[in-house]
Chain A
Amino acid sequence: MKLVEREAGGADYNDAVLKNGGSANKRSRDTLWLARVRHGWVALWVVGLLATGAGAAESAAQRVRLLDLKGREVEPLTGTDARATVFVFTRTDCPISNRYAPEVQRIYYEFASVDVAFWLVYVDPEESVAVIRRHLNDYAYPFGALFDPQHQLVRLTGVRVTPEVAVFVSGGAQARMVYRGRIDDKYVELDKERPQPTTHDLENVLRLIVEGKPVKSETTRAVGCFISDLEAR
């Protein structure tokens, strides 16, 4: 376990990932960082130095730990019995993300009662707790938020823009991402938008899950604000 400042942390992180990718059939102790970011955020997380390859018992996905708005450590995948977990990646200054708030909430109310967990994931490291709290309140989000300033979950899921969603089924050792991409197809390009979506991708995948039907893993292209712009330069 080591504690590092974020400014010096990038290389260490990559070392860890590299080890992660390179090690085989051997579980080592988690590496824990305490990272400090510009606005006083303290992000604490664990990346498993885990076994990979066929038959791996645990994946990086399961070991994700992020902070919630109260600064509590959350393991959204391992610490849940939910049938499915939905991550909605967002930032406060992305108009497309914001316009989706009512639709995301509608989907939440449709599926929260049938054991689907929802998390908003704020990806801008410069957004303070106060700003995010106000944002949650303004848009009346009824579910919790996580902070992903180091883009741990962004990398894990491969999301590129906000709003984009990732859906995992099962928890713990069996957690598996079955969908990543757009909420629906309302936005075709940044400058081209359907008056109404014709395909409700997120809703469709969740329905399959709760109906116990087989889910084919799928990705779609989401349209929105580039998360890459939030990487430190």
Chain B
Amino acid sequence: MRGSLGFAIAALGRLVAPAALALGLALTGLSGLGDQSGRSGPGGIIGAAPSGQLAPAASDLHRTKASVTFNKDVAPIIFKNCASCHHPGESGPFSLLTYQDARKHAAQIAAVTRIRFMPPWLPEPGYGDFVGQRRLTEAEIKLIQQWVDEGAVEGDPGELPPVPKFVEGWQLGKPDLVVATSRDYVLPAEGDHGRDVFRNLIIPGPVPGTRYVKAIEFRPGNLRIFHHANILTDPTESSRRLDGQDGQPGFSGMDLEIESDRFDPDSNFLFWKPGTPPAAESDGIPWRLDRGADLILNLHMRPDGKPEVVRPEVGLYFTDQPPTKFPMLLQLENDGALKIPPGDNHFVVTDDFKLPLDVEVLAIYPHAHYLGKDIQGFATLPAGEKKWLIWIKEWNFDWQGVFRYQQPVFLPKGATLHMRWTYDNSAGNVRNPNHPPRLVVGGNLATDEMSHLWVQVLPVNSADLGVDPRLVLQAAISQHKLEKDPGDWTAHFNLGAALETMGKPQKAIDEYRRVLELRPGDAIARNSLGAALQSLGRTDEAIHEYRQALNARPGDLDAEYNLGSALLSQGKGEQAAGQFQQVLKARPDDPDALANLGRAFAVENRMAEAAAEFESALRIDPQNADAHYDLGRVLAAQGDLPQAAAEFESALRINPDHASAHSDLGTVLAMQGKLAQAVAEYEAALRIDPQLATARDNLERARAQLAKSK
């Protein structure tokens, strides 16, 4: 049957040319069709694949003699490199698991592999060894071309390799937690002016208490409309404030910045693109997801001609093991230098950062928009040797991704990281978003540009630094940014946060004040300045800053909370309670606010109410040692000594170094006549904190009573 069909079609092929000629003549007056309409010529075929001819002609007569067959030669290539996306339910627009599938797209496959459009893989081989490399060899590409030229023959079924099996649903098994956006986003049939759509969707705080995430899996729902997704965590409410302002869930934007008021650098790339299986983080490098932190899905979607409901799910896989290694995402960038004149097809932007300590480079994520052409990331070692990290010779925004090294790349202290991005802002760059070209500057719109190189580094050999090596990196890179642009308020802020965490609040205050010179209305900087002042005991000044922050952004929960804490430290229980109640209106189960409300009540001697708040806090966060401790104090004040002792003991189980809990437990024991145990607790307290005066006084008293009783 197949044989006779083959012969018939071969005949058809031979006759194509005269038929076309006849029809061409018949189409009266159709000039210009001549040779272009001839289906035998390659002129109109994309990529001029010989196989683009209407039907394989002479070669088809010899299909039994075809040297390259699907089963023997092509299936192994397709199964290995294409099928992960091209199988049912995945992102590829069609499946490529059978000969029939491949035959129906044979010339297409030849064309897209020849120009390396497929499989999409940007890094140049030999300039960084990455996990999951999907790049055909020249030999493989030639084999596919030959297969199609010879008539896309099936071959001997006995030579077909096993068809790959794919796991349906969650690739890493059932997640510990599956979360989704709260409302569906509807992707329009086409974007504005035909452009892709960049949308940020919010998954509100998915975890009730801190969890360590060893893997995250993104399931977009409709895979075919996604180019990539970046997942960010937002511990503040900065993204929520933008949510839904245009009537649709989320907010638009190609790139986004998450405000944060604490030093908590991102450590892991949470990046997804079609066809790349999710991977668990390396041992010791889970990432922390705090209670209340939102997940932000930064999505690059490509409208596909009909409206699509976007309902992504995220699966979280937890571990009980907190991270033991702390990588950090370093960003090289030079957006300030992006002033690309129209017509310039070779505009170079660089950034160089000298490492202040030894690191291992784990992964890399280069980013530019549509003018990006040539992307180079490399390091210069202290001795001058050049070490490539990545080279992308033809940047394509659509296929950007995070590239993980097969083996970590060691770079010693003193090595310099370099990025060298080349842009093409000429009309010859068909991807140029501006027609005609115009001056392009840095920004997060599709018509703007970016020059970012994110590098995931793990500080090594830094045990004797005495501080978290990430702080050293953060301070160094912030100072580097300020060298490029003294007006970079983000860098001032990050430097301030690093200095504050390194125990240098006075220097931090200087940096926060620089931010406020540049941005007087910056509520986060005000709030951070307040916190730094408060840590120096300058509570009145701190309260002034918190109030300024609340003027700048009424209802800012962090400022409300900090103002409450400052008032509480001044013993103003009633005012403090009002602040915490404000916070709790917005976050009814914030355990810290509940506990502080308890403390405020306790200051006002409203012990029953105080106890109730501590108990609420502990229901949500049973591991809060301070709340156990304070509840113990309230119970002791109410005369419930055994319960008070139990709470102090709970606090000490969580934090054995809680000196005050030892001390107060001693007092409760002493009050119960258990003097020997009391002495032991006081001694324990003083071992931890020799300056604890109450413990010292009480210890003497207890010893004296003990001596008397003997």
Contact = CB atoms under 8 A, between A and B. Distances in A.
Q: Is A bound to B?
A: yes
Contacts of B60: 233
Contacts of A226: 45-46, 49, 51-52, 107-108, 111
A218 B29 CA distance: 11
A126 interface: yes
A149 to B, nearest CB: 13
Most buried by A among B19, B396, B433: B19
Contact of B115 (A13, A160, A191): A191
B54 to A, nearest CB: 5
A6 to B, nearest CB: 9
B305 A178 contact: no
Interface string A158-196: 101100000000000000111010000010111111111
A224 B430 CA distance: 17
B151 interface: yes
Given A8-B8, A17-B19, A226-B108, A160 B152 contact: no
Interface stretch (B31-39, B414-422, B469-477, B496-504): B31-39
Given A101-B306, A189-B46, A191-B117, A50 B26 contact: yes
A58 B189 CA distance: 41
A11 interface: yes
Contacts of A228: 51-55, 107
Interface in A1-17: 7-11, 13-14, 17
B47 A195 contact: no
Interface residues of A, number: 70
Contacts of A221: 43-44, 46
Contacts of B21: 21
18 contacts: A8-B8, A10-B12, A17-B18, A60-B22, A60-B23, A98-B304, A139-B189, A139-B306, A158-B36, A158-B38, A176-B30, A180-B37, A193-B430, A217-B31, A221-B43, A229-B108, A233-B55, A233-B151
Contact of A219 (B11, B32, B195): B32
B441 interface: no
B454 to A, nearest CB: 25
Interface stretch (B98-106, B171-179, B236-244, B540-548): B98-106
B46 A161 contact: yes
A208 interface: no
A230 B93 CA distance: 16
Contacts of B193: 195-196
Contacts of B370: 195
Interface in B423-469: 430-433, 435, 446
B15 A52 contact: no
Interface in B51-104: 51-56, 60, 93-94, 103-104
Contact of A10 (B8, B190, B446): B8
A210 interface: no
B5 interface: yes
B46 A223 contact: yes
A138 interface: yes
Contact of A231 (B46, B47, B55, B94): B55
A223 B111 CA distance: 11
A14 B306 contact: no
Nearest to A154: B54
Contacts of A60: 22-23, 26
User: SS class of chain B's interface: helix, strand, loop or mixed?
Assistant: loop
Pick from B15, B112, B117 the residue with the most CB of A within 10 Å: B15
Contacts of A193: 430-431
A144 B55 CA distance: 28
Given A52-B26, A191-B396, A21 B305 contact: no
A229 B20 contact: no
A156 B30 CA distance: 12
Nearest to B51: A228
Given A124-B104, A190-B115, A232-B5, 15 more contacts: A14-B15, A59-B23, A59-B26, A97-B305, A98-B305, A101-B305, A102-B190, A103-B190, A138-B306, A155-B54, A158-B39, A160-B52, A193-B431, A217-B30, A223-B46
Interface string B343-375: 000000000000000000000000000100000
B383 interface: no
A17 to B, nearest CB: 4
A114 interface: no
Interface string B99-130: 00001111110011001110000000000000
B11 A195 contact: no
Interface of B: 1, 4-6, 8-9, 11-12, 15-16, 18-23, 25-33, 36-39, 43-47, 49, 51-56, 60, 93-94, 103-108, 111-112, 115-117, 151-152, 189-190, 193-195, 224, 302-306, 370, 396, 430-433, 435, 446
A201 B27 CA distance: 21
Contact of A176 (B15, B27, B111, B431): B27
A121 to B, nearest CB: 16
B39 to A, nearest CB: 6
B305 A195 contact: no
A60 B21 CA distance: 12
B8 A98 contact: no
Contacts of B15: 14, 17-18
Contacts of A177: 27, 30, 33
A14 B16 CA distance: 8
Contact of B27 (A8, A11, A59): A59
B678 to A, nearest CB: 76
Interface string A88-109: 0000011101111111000000
Nearest to A55: B28
Interface string A4-37: 0001111101100110110000000000000000
Contacts of B224: 95
Given A226-B108, A233-B6, A233-B9, A18 B19 contact: yes
A206 interface: no
Nearest to B111: A190
Interface string A199-233: 00000000000000000111101111110111111
Nearest to A227: B54
Contact of B435 (A138, A158, A198, A230): A198
Nearest to A221: B44
Interface string A29-49: 000000000000000000000
B64 to A, nearest CB: 13
A218 B32 contact: yes
Interface string A127-155: 00000000000111000000000000001
A9 B136 CA distance: 39
Contacts of A191: 112, 115-117, 396
A93 to B, nearest CB: 5
A71 interface: no
Nearest to B6: A233
A233 B43 contact: no
B190 A192 contact: no
A218 B47 CA distance: 21
B278 to A, nearest CB: 24
B46 A61 contact: no
B92 to A, nearest CB: 9
A37 to B, nearest CB: 13
A79 interface: no
A8 B53 CA distance: 22
A102 to B, nearest CB: 4
B30 A178 contact: yes
A186 B111 contact: no
Nearest to A169: B29
Nearest to B115: A191
A102 B305 contact: yes
B19 A139 contact: no
